[in-house]
Amino acid sequence: ETLSVVGSWSGLPLHKEYEAPFWSETLPAASGGKIEVELTTHNQMNLGLGDIYPLLGQGVYDVAMTVGDYAVSDAPELEGLDVPMIATDAATARKAVEAARPMVDEIFAERFNSKVLAIAPYPPQVVFCNAEIASLDDLAGKKVRASGRMTAKFLEALGAEGVNVSFSEVPGALQKGVVDCAVTGAGSGYSAGWWEVSTHLLPIPLGGWDPVVTAMNMDKWNGLDADTQALIQSELATKFEAPAWDTAQGALANDIGCLTGQGDCTSGDKRSMTLVEASDADIAKATEILTSEVLPDWAERAGGDWKDRWNASVGAAVGVTIE
């Protein structure tokens, strides 16, 4: 059995450390050579981000993994998988994703003719500012670079102005004041040198955790025998999903250490950004904006009974209720 697998961003640690070894070595070995894998990534194929899952559903490849949020054009209800600010640590984020799993399974089956196999996190999308900030409230009136619809709406509700700048131009934009703040993974910001051009780090998941969904074409999945299905699922759960989640919190702490000099740093030299600790007031403020504006807005976009289902699952897991 040869599987054609399309991985997520080839340059990021999730692909290099987990996806690539799992699909090219772990799984073929565990299957005793029964499963062979041809691995590429969506950026190497130059796929449109919104096309990755729809093409999976049409059987253009067997397995695809990418940020669930990229597919919300075709499935607005999927935005509920990755809500900014509701999970401030990896354990909570994992709980939220597990609570959302049945909904995600259903969305992928219906919208993309695909079987969800695993959901793993990217590092949380935190805030780099080249401006004095002490709390979430201080983002009001600032120009902020972020991506994704729900994050943009959250910033809008906060009184910040969303600015579109591509990732590679962020350092220049921060330096020249084109943007005051920018959102990305702490590790990406560290390796791209954002600490050179920004002063304050607010390590809260303003852009959410960008969960990466691994899914298989449904026809392909149904064509596999039960043993193979079980093998793939158990291998993914124990040797891909679990380690990716287990190291997420540590990686965040390490990246914050590297950027601020407070704490350990194993990835390189320590830098000295000012660490802005999120206070309870910040979280309360975020929850207030989410429940009063951003999430009701989403519930309307998603339609159906998604609001109730979200409240009963993800909402219950993190203690947030959409009115």
Partner 1 sequence: MIAYIAAGLLGLLALSIPVGIVLFLLGFGVDQFFSSFPLIRGLGNMVWSSSNSSTLIAIPFFVLLGEILVRSGVAARTYAALDKWVSWMPGGLVHANVATATMFSATSGSSVATAATVATVAMPQAEKLGYDPKLFSGAIAAGGTLGIMIPPSINLIVYGFLTQSSIPQLFLAGLIPGLGLAFAFLVVTAAICVVRPELGGERRVFPLSEMMGALAHLIPIILLFTVIIGSIYKGWATPTEAASVGVAGALVIAAVFGGVSVAMMGEAILGTVKVTCMIMLIVIGASFLNFTLASAGLGRELEAFLGGLGLTPLSTILVIVLMYIVLGFFIETLSLMVVTIPIVVPLVVELGYDPIWFGILMIVLIEMALITPPVGLNLYVVQGARKSGHLNEVMVGAIPYVLVMLAMAIALIAFPSIALFLPEALS
Partner 2 sequence: MADQFIDRLRTLNRYVAYAVGVLLLACAAFVLADIVLRQLGSSFGGTDEISGYVMAIATSWGMAYALLELGHVRIDLIRSKVAAKGRAMFDLLSMTVMSATIVLIAVKCWPVVARSIKNSSTANTPLETPLVWVQAPWFAGWVWFALMSCLLTLAALVLVVQGKLAESERRIGAFGEQDLL
In degrees rounded to 5, what are phi and psi of residue 272?
-125, 50
**By the rule CB under 8 A, 153 interacts with partner 2:** yes
Q: Which of 73, 238, 279, 292 binds partner 2 (CB under 8 A)?
A: 73
CB contact set of 167 (below 8 Å; sequence gap of 6+): 184, 188, 192
Q: Which stretch binds partner 2 (CB under 8 A): 149-157, 186-194, 252-260, 271-279?
A: 149-157
Q: Are the beta carbons of 77 and 105 closer than 8 angstroms? A: no
Q: Which does 44 bind (CB under 5 to 8 A by kind): partner 1, partner 2, none?
A: partner 1
Question: Which of 90, 41, 86, 91 lies closest to 67, judged by CA?
Answer: 41
Q: Is 265 left (phi over 0), alpha (psi -120 to 50) or beta?
A: beta
Q: How far is the CB of 96 from partner 2 (least distance, A)?
A: 20
**By the rule CB under 8 A, 203 interacts with partner 2:** no
Question: CB-wise, 5 or 179, nearer to partner 2?
Answer: 179
Q: How far is the CB of 263 from partner 2 (least distance, A)?
A: 34
**By the rule CB under 8 A, 98 interacts with partner 1:** no
**By the rule CB under 8 A, 200 interacts with partner 2:** no
3-state secondary structure 77-138: HHHHHCCCCCCCCHHHHHHHHHHHHHHHHHHHHHHHCEEEEEEECCCCEEEEECCCCCCHHH
Q: How far is the CB of 165 from partner 1 (least distance, A)?
A: 7
**By the rule CB under 8 A, 54 interacts with partner 2:** yes
State how far the Cα of 105 lies from the Cα of 245, in Å rounded to an integer. 19
**Helix (H/G/I), strand (E/B), else coil: 322:** coil
Q: How many residues does the chain have?
A: 323
Q: For binding to partner 1 (CB under 8 A), which residues are involved?
A: 2, 4, 10-11, 38, 40, 43-48, 50-51, 54-55, 58-61, 165-169, 171-173, 176-178
Q: For binding to partner 2 (CB under 8 A), which residues are involved?
A: 50, 54, 69-70, 72-76, 111, 148-149, 152-153, 156, 161-164, 301
